[in-house]
């Protein structure tokens, strides 16, 4: 408390409600500060945040306290080194830029059109719950290609797993619904992999000219896209495939929903910047990057010190929790002049760290950007005079994941 007085006065309620004034103070005076409220260190300066995220040998995710792993087991999110690579690589190919564009672009366009066609006549909506959330769930459902599931089922699993992780983070007992939902996800993964293997065997029979060939061709034509999970099962055990599927589901829904909602909120709160984007569609990407910088969907990432070390002026001990504030690093004035201003023409906004950095850089960052770009373009094109509902104001909130609880808008 003597060495880090600002950290000692910082509360989790303050960080969840509006963290940016306090993060600015910490960044200026205690860029690595001990926060009793977190029982750990908080890193708010961008260069020091990069040091932590790049050095997985000193600052690891592989720790028994990592809450997501307690619910879904080890995954690419909670492993480092060779094991992290082994878990991540089988899922990487579909999320490269060209594969994302070719594999998901048309589907996102169609799903966006479907959702907006249903909303247009009403003249008002909560675009977080009625648009951004359903779009994110639909894309994740397609990406995973789970058999015998729909977006509602995937969303119910996601909600229960998130609540379980949140309960653990807060030190509470886990609601049994969380483990039960994960068990159902794991069963769906196993069924999907089994069906993919059956189709592959039947297709092999076609090559041999057997009587099974016609049935194989028909089954393959009707089967959902299972290549992601099936291919991963060639290199990982089924429990490992399921654990990573849960992580992809979590990241693809939570942070993408926040990304779309926060970006739209920033544009509607700044009519001058919205006018620039409407006048030059090339600025839409800049608006997305600026929104990510100002309000990343995931505000913090956790690491654990593997040895005694020094970071800035802080003496960190082996086992200490080291939390990187992505929200704090993204407003570092040493990198981003006038850091609290939303500027769609900022020339270095892509230096934001909303997708983290180092070995745990977000696997699906390209997909999240594509989703958000298509979603915002359609919203601005199809909903005339789109504006915030003045009777239902909103703001991002959350200690770890930040987005508005709702985004009520009007148009027409």
Which stretches in the chain have pLDDT values below 50? 1, 211-213, 215-226
Domains along the sequence of the chain with CATH: 5-410 (1.10.630.10)
Q: Give CA–CA dist 130/249, Å, rounded.
A: 19
Cα-Cα end-to-end distance for the chain:
55
Task: Please report the pLDDT score of residue 312 as a whole number.
Answer: 95
Give the three-state DSSP class for 351. Answer: helix
Please report which helix (H) or strand (E) contains residue 125, including its range: strand 124-126
pLDDT at res. 172: 84
Q: Which residues contact 283 (CB under 8 A, 6 or more apart)?
A: 276, 277, 344, 345
Torsion angle, alpha carbons of 176, 180, 185, 188, to 10: 180
pLDDT of residue 163: 87
User: Closest by alpha carbon to 42, among 321, 304, 401?
Assistant: 321
Strand, coil or helix: 18: coil
Closest CA to 137 of 236, 267, 254: 254
DSSP-assigned beta bridge partners for residue 315: 310
Name all contacts of 120-124 with Cβ < 8 Å and 24+ positions apart. Answer: 120/382, 120/383, 123/410, 123/411, 123/412, 124/389, 124/408, 124/409, 124/410, 124/411
Give tens-digit pLDDT for 24-58. 999 999 999 999 999 999 999 999 999 999 999 99
| pTM of structure | 0.91
pLDDT of residue 15: 96
Distance CA 313, CA 380 (A): 47
């Amino acid at each position: 408390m003597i060495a880090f007085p600002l950290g000692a006065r910082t509360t989790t309620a303050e960080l969840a409600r509006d963290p940016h004034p306090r993060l600015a103070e910490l960044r200026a005076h205690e860029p690595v500060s001990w926060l009793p409220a977190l029982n750990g260190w908080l890193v708010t300066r961008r260069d020091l945040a990069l040091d932590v995220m790049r050095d997985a040998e000193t600052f690891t995710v592989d720790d028994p306290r990592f809450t997501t792993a307690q619910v879904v087991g080890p995954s690419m999110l909670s492993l480092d080194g060779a094991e992290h690579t082994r878990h991540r690589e089988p899922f990487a190919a579909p999320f490269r830029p060209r594969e994302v564009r070719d594999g998901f672009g048309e589907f996102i366009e169609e799903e966006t059109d479907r959702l907006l066609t249903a909303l247009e006549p009403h003249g008002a909506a909560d675009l977080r719950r009625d648009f951004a959330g359903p779009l994110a769930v639909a894309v994740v459902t397609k990406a995973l290609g789970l058999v015998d599931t729909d977006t509602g089922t995937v969303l119910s699993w996601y909600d229960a797993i998130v609540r379980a992780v949140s309960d653990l983070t807060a030190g509470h007992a886990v609601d049994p619904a969380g483990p039960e939902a994960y068990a159902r996800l794991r069963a769906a993964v196993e069924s999907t992999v089994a069906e993919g293997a059956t189709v592959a065997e039947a297709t092999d029979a076609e090559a041999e000219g057997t009587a099974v060939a016609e049935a194989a061709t028909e089954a393959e034509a009707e089967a959902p896209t299972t290549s992601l999970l099936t291919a991963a099962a060639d290199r990982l055990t089924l429990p490992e495939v399921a654990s990573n599927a849960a992580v992809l589901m979590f990241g693809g829904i939570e942070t993408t929903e926040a990304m779309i909602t926060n970006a739209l909120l920033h544009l509607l709160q700044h009519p001058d910047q919205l006018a620039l984007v409407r006048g030059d569609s090339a600025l839409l990407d800049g608006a997305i990057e600026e929104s990510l910088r100002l309000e990343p969907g995931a505000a913090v990432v956790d690491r654990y010190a593997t040895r005694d070390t020094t970071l800035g002026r802080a003496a960190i001990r082996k086992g200490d929790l080291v939390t990187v504030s992505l929200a704090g690093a993204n407003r570092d004035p040493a990198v981003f002049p006038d850091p609290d201003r939303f500027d769609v023409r900022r020339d270095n906004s892509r230096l934001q760290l909303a997708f983290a950095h180092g070995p745990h850089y977000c696997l699906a960052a390209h997909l999240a950007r594509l989703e958000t770009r298509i979603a915002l373009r359609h919203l601005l094109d199809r909903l005339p005079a789109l504006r915030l509902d003045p009777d239902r104001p909103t703001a991002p909130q959350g200690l770890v994941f930040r987005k508005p609880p709702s985004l009520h808008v009007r148009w027409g």
